[in-house]
Homo-oligomer: A and B are copies of this chain.
Amino acid sequence: MRTSGLPVLDKLINDFSKLPGIGYKTAQRLALFILKSDPDYVSELADALLSVKENTRLCAQCFNISEHELCSVCADRRRDGGLLCVVEDVVDVMAIEDSHEFRGLYHVLGGVISPLSGTMPDDLHLKELAERVQANGVREVLLAINPSTEGEATMIYISRMLKDSNVRITRIASGVPLGSHLEFLDTATIGRAIQTRRDL
């Protein structure tokens, strides 16, 4: 492994290379960029890192990340509290918010049921989901869980858990992404798109 001969730089390269998708070469390039960049930018980046850890927590209602007791979605009174969108992770909330197609509230599970990697139903915010559905006037639970094997299993688990609660349970459509080509798509997606075809 190449070393810079400078302990202080090696330390930064080592810390950078712990970030996801950052190998040693990239970490070295980033560290040398830091070495040459404006001190104001570097102290800003250091502050931003610490600030994210210090000033964020999980929303008390939906487990989205938040700077306050309730996240910005839950705190927004214009949102439809009767429609709950269940997602795996905070990043999924961001992706859906960016589509501007959803005006309800979220419920972040914190993962999917995966016995192989040791994630059991009790490790997720499933109990809280059941409580929210019972307590509030929820009309519909929209499952926006990624359609992996574990995701499918989790959706089945949730639909069974909520089957007596008298709410409508839906899931987002699986199919051909807009702008993609059938020839490049996997057979499972094409098969699903054919099975779930709609009338025009």
**Cross-interface CB contact of A53 among B18, B22, B34, B71, cutoff 8 Å:** B34
> Which residues on B sit within 8 Å (CB–CB) of A45?
12, 15-16, 49
Tell me the chain A residues, 49-93 only, with Cβ under 8 Å from chain B: 49-53, 55-56, 65-67, 71-73, 90-91
Separation of A4 and B146 alpha carbons in the complex (Å) = 19
Identify the stretch in A94-102, A151-159, A167-175, A188-196 within 8 Å (CB) of chain B at 4 or more residues: A94-102
Residue in B26, B41, B52 whose beta carbon sits within 8 Å of that of A8 in the complex: B52
Q: Are A31 and B52 in contact (CB under 8 A)?
A: yes
A46 sits at the interface (CB 8 A): yes
User: Chain A interface secondary structure, helix, strand, loop or mixed?
Assistant: helix
List, in ascending order, chain B residues with CB within 8 A of A48's CB: 8, 11-12, 15
Nearest CB of B to A64, in Å = 8
> A residues near B, CB below 8 A?
2-9, 11-12, 15-16, 18-22, 26, 28-35, 39, 41-53, 55-56, 65-67, 71-73, 90-91, 94-95, 97-98
Within 8 Å CB of A39, what residues of B?
Answer: 53
Docked-complex contact A6 and B91, CB < 8 angstroms: no
Cβ contact within 8 Å between B2 and A35: no
